[in-house]
Every structure is written in C-alpha cells, then in structure tokens.
Amino acid sequence: MADEGPRPPHRSQARDEPRDGAGANRTTELSGTVALVTGASAGIGRHLAQGLAARGAAVAGLARSADRLQTAMDEVAASTGARTLAVPADVTDRTAVESAVARVTAELGPVDLLVNNAGLMDPAEVPVWQADPDEWWRVVESHVRGPLLLVHAVVPGMVERGQGRVIDLGSGLSTRGRDLYSAYSVGKTGLMRLTEVLHAGLAGTGVHAFDLSPGVVETAMSTAMSIHEGRTEWTDPQVVVDLVAAIAAGELDQWSGRFVRAGADELDTLRSVQPEGDARMLRLRRYGDDDPTG
C-alpha cells in the first residue's frame, strides 16, 4: 500500500487514566518530553515507543515501512492517550533523516530524547570472509551511519537549548568478536565509540549520550539467531523501558558516555554509583605493568 502522506500527531488525553493499564505503575514521569525512537515499528523500538508514551512522553517513531509504522504508532496512541507521530524514513538516507527530524520538530516540538534503535542483523550466519561485502556493509551502515545522521540532525538543537539526551542501543557483541554476526558486531562496536566521542564533545553543554545494551529481548530478530536457539530466559522489555525512562528523566547522567546493560544492571544501583575513570568504556586490556600501550 502506498504511503498516504503526513498525518497529524495524536493529542493527549488524561495521562492519569491509561486506557489499558499501560503506565499505571510507571516510576518515571516524562510529561512534556518529546522522544524520537528509530526502528519503532517492531521489536524493542515498539516496546520503547509504548513505554515512553505510557509515561507521558510525546513519541515520534521512525522506520522504513510506512504502513507498519503508522499502525504501530496508532496503537500506541490508542492505548496510552499520548501524542504520537509516524515518520517513515531510512536512517541511512541523509535527506530523509533531515526531513523527518524537521517534521517531528514542527509537529511535536524539539526532540528531548533521541533513541537510536534501528539496525540490521547479518542476513547469513557465516564467517566474515564468506559474507557478501555489500550486504555486510549495509548492516554496518545501519548501526553507524544511521545514528550519526540522527545525531547530526538532532543534537545541534539540544546543544542550543542546553539539554537533551541521546541513547544508542548497543549490544554485548560490541565488546567482543565472534565467528558469526561479524557485521552486527563491528557496527555495534563503532556505535559504542560514537557514543563515547559524542559524550566527549558534549562536555559542558547539558546534553548527554549513553550506550545501552537491551540484553536479549525476545523479538523476531533475536529468535532467528542460532545462538539463542532453545533459549527460555529473555530480558523483560519493561526493564529496558525503565532504564530508558530513567535516562530521559536525567536520573543517570553520571553514566553518560558509558555502557549499561538491561537485565544485568539494577536501576537503583546505577542511580547510586558514580563511575570513575574509564569504567564501562571501550578500552584495550594491558598484558601487564610494562605494556607500552597501557
């Protein structure tokens, strides 16, 4: 079905009366926040759009499939009463990203929270030398070029206002290499470094950047991966939502530029810990005290 063109955002209803109970036990209120979530039509992005809206945020969802995205955002609006906006775009297309962000700003307001969630998985489970180079590169681009273009379009406005937060959805595969999923791993490692350099460049601006691994949430992507075959324990998507909401509310700013993992890190612990030095940053391990690269 062809894209029917822009639709107006849904207007909020009473936020203290969620229609389906979503958000009834919310721990972090985000009323007044404008969130932009990429990859919002399915999987983790869909959970995040729902969870942020349930907490009072106005949520713009961005994804390539216009029809599926519109359906998802309509469902979020209907179940939460939040303002939502579906903005179809390919995150690796600079013109499309810039147009999408301009539309979000015009219809919902300046973006307070950017969640870079969209990204592809290796289409074939083969060693890197057997992978199709073009397909491999498309996966890497989705995790590095895509977030870069969103950062380029959104962060200047945040810096101008002196506030805002960027969350890059990382992965445990960003911290280690393995024989399969090489493009995904390389892309997520690049994204982890992008988060760190973004954090460094934002020092003193009031804007913060975070690398958040969602753990292993049960989605169409994760269940198709052979490493998860037979898995019975999955990360509760609500845990991911809670972490994202806490970051959006400014409760974890001391973790800016660092790696946190849903399903392993306890939210209350993250709130209370002040990380120091290069803790939870991507670094080489020294082989000993005399290591010249240490």
Tens of pLDDT, residues 135-165: 999 999 999 999 999 999 999 999 999 999 9
Q: What is the pLDDT of residue 39?
A: 95
Who wins on pLDDT, 234 or 261?
261
Using alpha carbons, select from 15, 20, 8 the residue that is nearest to residue 31.
Answer: 15
pTM of the model: 0.86
The DSSP H or E segment spanning 264 is none
- Pick from 277, 272, 242, 274: which is nearest to 255 by CA? 274
Active site residue 181: no
pLDDT of amino acid 285 = 87
Q: Which of 184, 210, 255, 259 is catalytic?
A: 184
Tell me the pLDDT tens digit for each residue of 54-98. Answer: 999 999 999 999 999 999 999 999 999 999 999 999 999 999 999
Ordered DSSP codes for 78-137: HHH---EEEEE--TT-HHHHHHHHHHHHHHT-S-SEEEE------SS---GGGS-HHHHH
Q: How far is CA 125 from the centre of its chain?
A: 24
**Alpha carbon 283 to its chain's center:** 22
Residues whose CB is less than 8 angstroms from the CB of residue 220 and which lie 6 or more positions away in sequence, other chains included: 42, 43
In order of 32, 99, 134, the CA distances from 118 in angstroms are 24, 17, 19
Task: Tell me the three state secondary structure of residue 17.
Answer: coil
Task: Please list the alpha-helical segments (H only) found in 120-218.
Answer: 133-161, 182-201
